[in-house]
Structure 1
Amino acid sequence: MRIALLTYSTRPRGGVVHTLALAEALAALGQDVTVWTLARGGGFFRPVDPRVRLCAVPFEDVPGESVGERILRSIEVLREAFDPSAYDIVHAQDCISANAAGRCVRTIHHLDTFTTPELAACHERAIVSPYAHLCVSSAVAAEVRSGWGISPTVIPNGVDAARFAAATPLPGFYVLAVGGIEPRKGSWDLVRAFARLSDISDLRLVFAGGETLFDYRDYRVAFDQLAADLDVTPEVLGPVAHDELPGLVGGAAAFAFPSTKEGFGLAAMEALAGGVPVVARDLPVLREVFGPAVLYGTGPDSLADSLRTAIVKPDPARAAAGRALAFAHTWTDAARRHLDFYRSL
């Protein structure tokens, strides 16, 4: 089967990680797979199995370009480069690539609310226009069904659990969050929660990741001021090299996952694979995916309480359950289920 998987970037975001891992697993099953993307800042953030063809369309930053203008240009550049006639299945992983692809399958990883008109329109078209839909969790599929009357098929993510389980943990004593500083990641609540842990000596707050299409400069300015007001000094690493991430995750005293919207929670599942206790926001989707393998919180106070428990009283039984959960999600299984879905179309 000739399969095109489309994503919007070469940088390490959840949807891009998903796209590459799925492409490699499909190729390992003997499929003819090509990944199409916009090359933001160069090639992909990690080596890709040579059985997967890569078509990275050049896309340079334009100084002064607004978010809306960047969205429209992203769609147009990818649309002009991509020829769907060469493929049996065209599968888009985000709203930009779905708008560019034409007739396609779409994975809706999570739903969001946008105020930028161009982005809101992109989001809407990428839900209603595709002829077939997937979600990585039942909770998000239920949101799609409730909001649009569309019933996606659910295929959970895989996890490269062995990569995180085998890592040598970095030394240190820190709470780690991955995904950058942005509204959807609940960064403000995490700083407020961390401030409530000031009695735990030498504990650090570390943020990794953060590449995105969107402009969160105002949010970041407010974040920095909030941290200063609370006498918290977070360490903001920015994007972390692919080979360095497992050790960084594995060395954390706790992994904080206070996102306000998620589709699955791949970064938190990777932390569980590394034996790290996870504290997540109490969302239906995260309850579905993680069950009792993680601790939960709904706001700064309860997130702080759960972080304290995770750090001061780590639970070996919960850690073992989390590791088993992570290893139960394989990309090979996800790829087989995708193939069954493609064939049904």
Structure 2
Amino acid sequence: MSQPRIALDVSFAKLVGIGVGVYASNIWAALTPLLGDRLVPVCSKFARPPRGARRTFRERLDTLMRDLWWHQAGVTVAARRCGAQLLHLPAGVGPVAGRFPAVTTIHDVMPIRFAPMFRPWYRRYAGFVMPRLARRARAVITVSQTAKQEIAEEFGLAPERISVIPHGVDPAFRPLLPGDPRVPDVRRRYELPEAFVLAVGSIEPRKNLERLLQAISLLRTRPGTRDVTLVHSGPEGWHVDHVAERVRQLGLSGAARFLGYTPAADLQVLYGLARAFVYPSLWEAFGLPVIEAMACGCPVVTSGLSSLPEIAGDAALFVDPHSADDIARGVAAVWEDGARRAVLVQKGLARVRDFTWARAARATIAVYEAALA
């Protein structure tokens, strides 16, 4: 008797620089050698740019809502056609009707719990789709205990229906070797200062960039941190105009550089060059950049809220993300103290050994098997 086939929705795997895209592409890659031809990637017919062309973040957003509604039917049709017995929806959205067996990964309930931080159309879409999909799925995967608790509460799910499977970190994220030839090239292309703190993520309200900028402004008035410069890597998002205005108001045009989306190879170098990585997010289900930074040997200053203490363990310096003064305190402590940086680097490198995509894939297969039983 042949083993059941699993259809994996990879419609979101092409969304580079966005959390669900990172997850979908990495879990796909990790599951493939374990399941072989039992794993069938499927995709709804999303609007695609011409071959070889790249769409900007805003151009993707313009077509995303239409794509999402087409997605409701497309992946089920594709799963049936390939003879699959189970469909994995890794982005927390997908068909809310029908009886085709499904497992879904729901990363968080932020569009529902923190609705003002999201665009109105996406709040409506997520508010309709996510609870219905969660209730009809045979199993729900999420990425942290924090997210599990909120999903269970928000959607009225029994906790045993939700499996926590943390993200892995791409092996490409590792400490720089001495004499790495990419370093001078990255410094030149991005016009990097000699020393800087790095922030990573899309420009949106929950990433708390305006308060981080205020903290940088405070630091630049104090002895010992007058030369602190912020470098930010990540797509524009929908909060970019507010952040740009805040940079102007604080007089930080020469002290805050926004690079836009950077490829993973460049991002690894940025982590390796930064004196500290700062991530004062107001809410995260996981916070993948935290473990990427640790894997690259970069000391981490992050928020003490949501899942971030759970993910970072004792390998980060925690701050109150609602206080610019406290964010400044945390950055200054790492900026000025080489011994503290060294301790955080070593703790971070030890911590990330717990996060691998191979481990995530094995745990995901266990969920598939239970859902098919």
Q: Residue 117 and residue 246 in structure 1: after superposition, are their counterparts in 2 closer, same or farther (change >3 A)?
A: closer
Pairs within 5 Å for 1:319-330: 319-330=345-356
**Which secondary structure does the structure 1 equivalent of 2:268 belong to?**
helix
- Deviation digits for residues 263-307 of structure 1 (CA, Å, limit 9, x no counterpart): 111111010011111111111311111122101111211111001
State the partner residue of 1:142: 149
Q: Distance in 2 between matches of 1:61 and 1:204?
A: 25
Q: Distance in 2 between matches of 1:71 and 1:319?
A: 39
**Which has the larger displacement, 252-261 or 101-110?**
101-110
Residue among 2, 5, 24 paired with 2:6: 2
Q: Distance in 2 between matches of 1:154 and 1:61?
A: 30
**Which has the larger displacement, 188-197 or 120-129?**
120-129
- Measured after TM superposition, the shift of residue 89 of structure 1 is 2.7
State the partner residue of 2:191: none
**Which secondary structure does the structure 2 equivalent of 1:320 belong to?**
helix
State the partner residue of 2:250: 230
**Which has the larger displacement, 273-282 or 201-210?**
201-210
Q: Which amino acid aligns with 2:233?
A: A
Q: Distance in 2 between matches of 1:253 and 1:159?
A: 21
- Report if the CA contact (8 A) 2:85-2:101 is conserved: no
State the partner residue of 1:51: none
Q: Distance in 2 between matches of 1:44 and 1:297?
A: 43
2:182 counterpart of 1:156: no
The structure with the greater share of residues assigned to strand is: 1
**Which secondary structure does the structure 1 equivalent of 2:285 belong to?**
coil
Query: CA RMSD, aligned part only?
Result: 3.0
Q: Residue 98 and residue 118 in structure 1: after superposition, are their counterparts in 2 closer, same or farther (change >3 A)?
A: farther
- Report if the CA contact (8 A) 1:184-1:259 is conserved: yes
Task: Give aligned pairs, total.
Answer: 325
- Measured after TM superposition, the shift of residue 230 of structure 1 is 1.5
**Which secondary structure does the structure 2 equivalent of 1:321 belong to?**
helix
Q: Distance in 2 between matches of 1:165 and 1:44?
A: 32
**Which has the larger displacement, 330-339 or 149-158?**
149-158
Q: Residue 185 and residue 97 in structure 1: after superposition, are their counterparts in 2 closer, same or farther (change >3 A)?
A: farther
- Report if the CA contact (8 A) 1:10-1:40 is conserved: no
2:86 counterpart of 1:89: yes
**Which secondary structure does the structure 1 equivalent of 2:173 belong to?**
helix
Residue among 292, 296, 301 paired with 2:314: 292
Residue among 216, 219, 243 paired with 1:194: 216
- Report if the CA contact (8 A) 1:4-1:34 is conserved: yes
State the partner residue of 2:286: 264
Q: Distance in 2 between matches of 1:148 and 1:165?
A: 41
State the partner residue of 1:128: 132
Q: Distance in 1 between matches of 2:327 and 2:347?
A: 21
State the partner residue of 1:50: none
Residue among 242, 259, 264 paired with 1:242: 264
Gap regions ≥5 residues in structure 2: 188-193
Residue among 304, 314, 326 paired with 1:282: 304
State the partner residue of 1:24: 29
2:134 counterpart of 1:114: no
Gap regions ≥5 residues in structure 1: 46-57
Q: Residue 28 and residue 6 in structure 1: after superposition, are their counterparts in 2 closer, same or farther (change >3 A)?
A: same
Q: Distance in 1 between matches of 2:286 and 2:345?
A: 19
The structure with the greater share of residues assigned to helix is: 2
- Measured after TM superposition, the shift of residue 28 of structure 1 is 1.7
TM-score (norm 2): 0.78
- Report if the CA contact (8 A) 1:26-1:33 is conserved: no
**Which secondary structure does the structure 1 equivalent of 2:301 belong to?**
strand
State the partner residue of 2:337: 313
Q: Residue 186 and residue 220 in structure 1: after superposition, are their counterparts in 2 closer, same or farther (change >3 A)?
A: same
Q: Residue 305 and residue 334 in structure 1: after superposition, are their counterparts in 2 closer, same or farther (change >3 A)?
A: same
Q: Distance in 2 between matches of 1:159 and 1:255?
A: 16
Q: Distance in 1 between matches of 2:102 and 2:171?
A: 30
Q: Distance in 1 between matches of 2:55 and 2:246?
A: 35
- Report if the CA contact (8 A) 1:160-1:331 is conserved: yes
Q: Residue 30 and residue 133 in structure 1: after superposition, are their counterparts in 2 closer, same or farther (change >3 A)?
A: closer
